[in-house]
A and B are shown apart, each in its own frame.
Chain A
Amino acid sequence: MIGWISIALIATGAFFFMAGSTGVLRFPDVYTRLHALTKADNLGLGFVVLGLSLRADSWIVVLKMLLIWSLVIVAGATASHLVAEAARMSNVPPWRKRS
C-alpha cells in the first residue's frame, strides 16, 4: 500500500516537472518562463520528496530531503527574482498578449 502511494506521489512530482519544462519551452519570454521554472519545480520536488520519504530507511534521510527541498525553494525563488531583475535592468521587454 505504502509502495503505491509513494509511486503515485513521485509520479505527481514528475508530472509537475514535466509541466514546468513544457512551460519553459512554450512560454514566450524570460519572465513567464521563470514563473514556470520556480513554481512548478518547487511543487514537483515537493511531491518527489514526499514520495521518497515513504520509502526512506531512516528519519534522518527524510530530514535531509526536506532540508534539500527548502534550500531549493529559497535558491529558486531568489535566483528567479535576480534573473527577472537583471532582465528588467537590461530592458528586456515583457511579452504582452496584444499590443
Chain B
Amino acid sequence: MPTTTTPSLIRVLMRPLRRAVVFAAVWWVVAEADPEGWVFGIPFVALATGASLALTPTREWRIRPVGALRYAGYFIQQSVLGGIDVSMRAIKPSLPLDPLILRYRMRLVPEYARVLFADTVSLLPGTLSSGFEDDTMTLHVLDCELDVEQSLRDVEQRVADVFGLDLSAEGGELAAIDGGAVGDCR
C-alpha cells in the first residue's frame, strides 16, 4: 500500500517496543510483581505484542488526559446509575419494562471512537448498543420513557473529548426503526 510518509527506522522499532512495555506492565501487575512470573511473562508479552501488531498495525488514536479523566468520572457515575436502574427493574414485582429498539445517527466518525461509544452506551442506564449500520448505531432501550437522545449526545461528546475529536455536524439524533415513531410508547 502506498504511503505518503515513510516512517523512520526508529519509529518502526518504537511501535512494538511501546506496546511490549504496556503488556509487560500488565503482566507485572497480574504476577503481583513476583520476579519468577517472568518465566511465563516474557513469552506472553511477546505473543501479546505480536497479536496486537497483527490486529492493529497502526495506532490511529491519541488519548487526551483531561478528556480521559473527565470521561472516567462520568463513566463511574453513570455505571452506578445504570446498575441501580436495572437492578430495581429486576427486583420490583411489577417488572417495569417497556422496551424499544432505536437507531442513533452518530456524529463520531473513527471506528475506535465508535467502539468506545457503543461500550459506554451499554453501561448507561437503560440503553444497550446492538450493532452498527453505516453511520447509525442500533440500540435497545429498556424503557421508552427515557430521554435517550440527550444522554447519547452527551456521551458522544465525552467520547470525542477523550480522543480530541471533532463531531461531525450531521447526525446526533434518533431515527425510527421498524416503522415505529421515535419515542413511541404505544
Q: Residues of A with Cβ closer than 8 Å to B?
A: 15-16, 19-20, 22-23, 26-29, 31-32, 34-36, 38-40, 42-44, 46, 58, 60-61, 63-64, 67, 73-74, 77-78, 80-81, 84-85, 87-89, 94-99
Q: Given A39-B83, A84-B128, verify A31-B89 contact (CB < 8 Å).
A: no
Main secondary structure of the interface of A (DSSP, over half): helix
Q: Are A97 and B98 in contact (CB under 8 A)?
A: yes
Q: Given A39-B86, A61-B32, verify A97-B129 contact (CB < 8 Å).
A: no
Q: Given A16-B87, A36-B90, A40-B87, verify A73-B123 contact (CB < 8 Å).
A: yes
Answer yes or no: B174 CB below 8 A from chain A CBs.
no
- On chain A, the residues within 8 Å of B142 by CB distance are 32, 35
Q: Given A88-B130, A96-B99, verify A80-B122 contact (CB < 8 Å).
A: yes
Q: Which residue of B lies closest to A65 (CB)?
A: B29
Q: Are A67 and B26 in contact (CB under 8 A)?
A: yes
Among B33, B87, B88, B119, the most chain A Cβ lie within 10 Å of the Cβ of: B87
Q: Are B80 and A81 in contact (CB under 8 A)?
A: no
Q: Are A35 and B83 in contact (CB under 8 A)?
A: no
Return the contact of A31 from the options B85, B95, B128, B186 (Cβ within 8 A): B128
- On chain A, the residues within 8 Å of B157 by CB distance are none
Q: Which residue of A lies closest to B185 (CB)?
A: A97
Q: In whole angstroms, how far apart are the Cα atoms of A16 and B33 in the complex?
A: 32
- On chain B, the residues within 8 Å of A40 by CB distance are 83, 86-87, 90
Q: Are A36 and B123 in contact (CB under 8 A)?
A: no
